[in-house]
Amino acid sequence: MFRAIPNLNGNSVESLVEQSRKILDAIRNLESALIEASPHGRNYQTAESGAWESDRADWNKIQIDLMNLHNRIMDSAIRIQNH
């Protein structure tokens, strides 16, 4: 994702890794909030047929996208740290 290369005129390795850590912390907080707010069948008792399944599928896609973003940021941080 990020192709930053630490150098004397730019940010240090530590600074770039810290930026990634802050992003990863924010993603973890978002993951926790998503888990807490995930669709639950008890909230769909009077909804139209298939509403819960559809919302659940959409929710799962969001979680997968977030997990992929987390992995991309982590890979970038490791690449920067190992530079």
Structural domain contains residue 5: no
Give the domain extent around 60.
13-40+49-81
Q: What is the mean pLDDT of residues 64-70?
A: 96
Q: What is the mean pLDDT of residues 28-53?
A: 93
50-66, pLDDT tens digit by residue?
A: 999 999 999 999 999 99
Q: What is the mean pLDDT of residues 26-32?
A: 96
Structural domain contains residue 31: yes
Give the count of domains, the chain. Answer: 1
Residue 2: its pLDDT value, please? Answer: 64
83 or 60: which leads in pLDDT: 60
Structural domain contains residue 59: yes
Structural domain contains residue 4: no
Structural domain contains residue 28: yes
Cα 37 to Cα 56: distance, rounded to the nearest angstrom:
11
Q: Which of 1-10, 51-60, 69-78 has the lowest mean pLDDT?
A: 1-10
Structural domain contains residue 2: no
Q: Above 90 in pLDDT, residue 82?
A: no
Structural domain contains residue 73: yes
Please, how many CA atoms are within 13 Å of residue 5, restricted to the half-sphere of its CB?
0
Structural domain contains residue 60: yes
Cα 53 to Cα 74: distance, rounded to the nearest angstrom:
31
